[in-house]
């Protein structure tokens, strides 16, 4: 059985970011690192978006950067600059290719393509069994996640951010390529929290993504019918072709994923609870958490304690409690935020960066009664 110091299970965003962080830090130069994924990562299987102020570490592979965003609610229509922030998109394939090249320069990192079947702690460390071989490590960082594992409990509601996206090429230059449609809640809600997410790469090419925050996914045809209707309504008499598609499902829950961490096995990415529970944004938060984890390793702190409860998790929990009880409230909640507060403050709040005074400003914008009921439900 081959032995390594560290095994990274999964070569998604969190796995590749962690491998790169370990590889370029001289502190870990003597550590042997194995990266395992069932896939070669040669397809553009997803896109990641985030906002940040000024230049950042992903700018060289960013496919598009927007200075403005658009929000629509039942009656509100808001097109605004988001300075000091910019909204950025990274394509999965660009990310994979970039980090594959970076990792190839580190002689202590090995990347293999095998399917992981089990991860088991032993007296000697951790045994990782794949469809071809078994490997041993002193520590394993795993992004493997089974959605069903958090369903057998009632303390923390579990919603899903689920979506289907079409990459579309229009035959007329009708798109505003300086503005990302962040959330367009003008679409029929049908008792849920539903919005269109539109990211224009040029005046003719864009990603149209129909998204829900709800408990159950739809039939694929329902997402696609909604995209067709949106195109017909907003871009009448414009022909289009679909160049790519994507589909995704991100759990939205304040479930304490960190309770599964041990001193030998740590969850990363969604499996580590690194997704923002109330929005599903994971990519940028993962880049932050990787830095924290590397610092933790260098300080030789117990990995079972690698987590932090803060006020933002509590805020997220209340919102998810509200949406789990009445999923139709999402549009009115977000519309009240965008109507009453400046967009940079909203983004700062969603990025877990606000002060307590700013928190109060944000939480006073929506109708308070659903949140008060949720708070009392948590207390009593």
Q: How many domains does the chain have?
A: 3
Instruction: Please check whether residues 36 and 140 belong to one and the same domain.
Output: yes
Instruction: Please check whether residues 197 and 219 belong to one and the same domain.
Output: yes
Mean pLDDT confidence for 255-269:
95
- Containing 342, the helix (H) or strand (E) segment is none
Instruction: Please check whether residues 319 and 182 belong to one and the same domain.
Output: no
What is the per-residue pLDDT for 288? 95
Mean pLDDT confidence for 358-364:
96
Instruction: Please check whether residues 134 and 269 belong to one and the same domain.
Output: yes
Residues 10-66 have pLDDT tens digits of: 999 999 999 999 999 999 999 999 999 999 999 998 999 999 999 999 999 999 999
Q: Are strands 62-66 and 47-53 parallel, antiparallel or unpaired?
A: unpaired
The answer as to whether 65 is a domain residue is no
What is the per-residue pLDDT for 350? 96
Q: Are strands 116-121 and 126-130 parallel, antiparallel or unpaired?
A: antiparallel
pLDDT tier, 154 (very low <50, low <70, confident <90, very high otherwise): confident
Instruction: Please check whether residues 21 and 129 belong to one and the same domain.
Output: yes
Residues contacting 237, CB < 8 A, separation 6+: none
- In 3D, which of 82, 81, 119, 42 has the Cα closest to residue 351? 82
**Token representation of residue 39:** 């896939």
CATH number, domain with residue 40: 3.50.50.60
Mean pLDDT confidence for 274-301:
95
The answer as to whether 52 is a domain residue is no
Instruction: Please check whether residues 269 and 359 belong to one and the same domain.
Output: no
Residues 175-192 have pLDDT tens digits of: 999 999 999 999 999 999
The answer as to whether 77 is a domain residue is no
What is the per-residue pLDDT for 1? 86
The answer as to whether 8 is a domain residue is yes
**Token representation of residue 290:** 């990787």
Instruction: Please check whether residues 287 and 317 belong to one and the same domain.
Output: no
What is the per-residue pLDDT for 52? 97
Check whether 380 has a pLDDT greater than 80. Answer: no
Residues contacting 71, CB < 8 A, separation 6+: 77, 78, 80, 182, 183, 184, 185, 334, 338, 343
- In 3D, which of 119, 91, 113, 118 has the Cα closest to residue 34? 113
The answer as to whether 168 is a domain residue is yes
The answer as to whether 288 is a domain residue is yes
Instruction: Please check whether residues 169 and 234 belong to one and the same domain.
Output: yes
Check whether 308 has a pLDDT greater than 80. Answer: no
Residues 74-110 have pLDDT tens digits of: 999 999 999 999 999 999 999 999 999 999 999 999 9
Instruction: Please check whether residues 334 and 244 belong to one and the same domain.
Output: no
Spatial separation of the C-alpha atoms in residues 209 and 226, rounded to whole Å? 9
Instruction: Please check whether residues 31 and 115 belong to one and the same domain.
Output: yes
Domain range for residue 325? 311-379
The answer as to whether 60 is a domain residue is no
The answer as to whether 36 is a domain residue is yes
Which is it for the CA torsion 278, 20, 59, 310, positive or negative?
positive
């Amino acid at each position: 059985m081959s032995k390594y110091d560290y095994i990274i299970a999964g070569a998604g965003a969190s796995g590749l970011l962690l491998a790169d962080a370990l590889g370029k830090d001289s502190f870990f130069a003597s550590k042997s690192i194995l990266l395992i994924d069932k896939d070669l990562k040669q397809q553009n299987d997803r896109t990641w978006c985030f906002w940040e102020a000024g230049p950042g570490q992903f700018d060289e592979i960013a496919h598009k950067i927007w200075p403005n965003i658009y929000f629509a609610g039942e009656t509100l229509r808001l097109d605004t600059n988001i300075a000091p922030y910019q909204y950025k998109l990274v394509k999965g394939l660009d990310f994979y290719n970039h980090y594959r090249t970076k990792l190839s320069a580190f002689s202590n990192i090995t990347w293999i393509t095998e399917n992981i079947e089990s991860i088991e702690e032993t007296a000697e460390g951790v045994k990782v069994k794949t469809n071809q071989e078994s490997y041993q490590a002193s520590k394993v960082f795993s992004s493997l996640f089974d959605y069903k594992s958090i369903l057998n409990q009632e303390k923390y509601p579990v919603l899903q951010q689920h979506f289907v996206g079409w990459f579309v090429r229009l035959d007329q230059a009708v798109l505003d390529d300086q503005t990302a449609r962040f959330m367009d809640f003008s679409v029929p809600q049908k008792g849920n929290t539903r919005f269109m997410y539109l990211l224009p790469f040029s005046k003719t090419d864009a990603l149209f993504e129909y998204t829900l925050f709800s408990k159950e996914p739809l039939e694929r045809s329902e997402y696609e019918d909604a995209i067709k209707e949106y195109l017909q309504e907003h871009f009448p008499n414009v022909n289009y072709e679909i160049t790519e598609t994507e589909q995704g499902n991100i759990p939205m829950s304040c479930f304490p994923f960190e309770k599964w961490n041990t001193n030998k096995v740590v969850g990363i990415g969604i499996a580590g609870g690194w997704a923002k529970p109330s929005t599903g944004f994971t990519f940028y938060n993962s880049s932050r958490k990787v830095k924290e984890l590397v610092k933790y390793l260098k300080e030789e702190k117990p990995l079972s304690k690698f987590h932090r409860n803060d006020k933002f998790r509590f805020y997220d929990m209340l919102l998810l409690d509200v949406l789990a009880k009445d999923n139709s409230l999402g549009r009115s909640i977000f519309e009240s935020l965008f109507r009453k507060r400046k967009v940079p403050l909203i983004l700062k709040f969603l990025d877990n960066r606000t002060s307590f005074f700013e928190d109060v400003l944000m939480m006073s914008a929506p109708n308070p009664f659903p949140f008060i009921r949720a708070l009392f439900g948590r207390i009593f």
